[in-house]
Amino acid sequence: MRNRGLIALLIVLVLCLFGGCMGCSTYNSLIGQQEGVNEAWGNVETAYQRRADLIPNLVSTVQAAGDFEQETLAMVTEARARATGVTLSADDLSDPERLSAFQAAQSQLGGALGRLLVVSENYPQLRATEAFRDLQAQLEGTENRINTARTRYNEAVRRYNTAIRSMPAALFAGMFGHAPRAAFEAEQGAETAPRVDFSS
């Protein structure tokens, strides 16, 4: 009788030890995934900051080139101010509305830059300046970096969201305060290819 009690106690202890080890392992894994999302988000912010830092140089170069549409330059400057005014911390990544507002501000800035580069095509002396060509190449590279950073962020979010919804992590995720993170989504109308028209 006494041996059975001892065996039952050992079984309970082994199960508790196994559950504790599994919980610790799951917790550590989720923390690693969460930090991966935070790191990927930091890279997105860095890419956007690089673009924001380049814009004053681009505007100065364009203004220095002389005769240019001031309305377009003002639009780029205002869009930059709006984009840098909308901030999003790693803690806000579980709120799709905050991410959407951040994405909308960055999209407005991207659109303003696109308009600036298109309008610049009407100014041959501007296109010919080495500084403008260099900045244009830098902006193109920056947009590629932003796209890459956003893609990597979405991959990290997918891994994290999958991890917290999979068993056995799903049993511990809520207990440890792990909530799903929001991913970047395509802008409305992105499925339609842009129309290029050189007729004007």
| Residue range 31-81, pLDDT digits in tens | 888 888 888 888 888 888 888 887 777 777 766 665 556 666 777 777 777
Report CA-CA distances (Å) from 38 to 34, 155, 199.
6, 12, 46
From the centroid of its chain, how far is CA 98?
Answer: 12
Residue 47 near residue 65 (C-beta atoms within 8 A): no
* Domain spanning 30-173, CATH class: mainly alpha
Burial 69-101 (b: 16+ CB within 10 A, else e): eeebbebbeebbeebbeeebebebbbeeebbee
Domain positions in the chain are 30-173
Which residues fall within 8 angstroms of residue 154, CB to CB, at 6 or more apart? 183, 184
Return the closest-CA partner of residue 164 out of 29, 19, 25, 21.
29
pLDDT in tens, the chain (200 residues): 677 777 777 788 887 777 777 767 777 788 888 888 888 888 888 888 888 887 777 777 766 665 556 666 777 777 777 777 777 777 777 777 887 888 888 887 787 777 777 666 666 655 556 666 777 788 888 888 888 988 898 899 998 888 888 888 887 787 778 888 888 776 665 555 455 443 44
Q: Looking up tokens 């207990």, which residue turns up?
A: 175
User: CA end-to-end span of the chain, whole Å?
Assistant: 97
Helices (H) and strands (E) in the chain, counts: 6, 0
| pLDDT given at position 14 | 80
Give the three-class secondary structure for 67.
coil
Peptide bond into 96 cis (omega under 30): no
Predicted confidence at residue 18, as pLDDT, reads 76
pLDDT of 199 reads: 46
pLDDT for residue 87: 75
Which helix (DSSP H) or strand (DSSP E) does residue 34 occupy?
helix 2-64
pLDDT of residue 197: 46
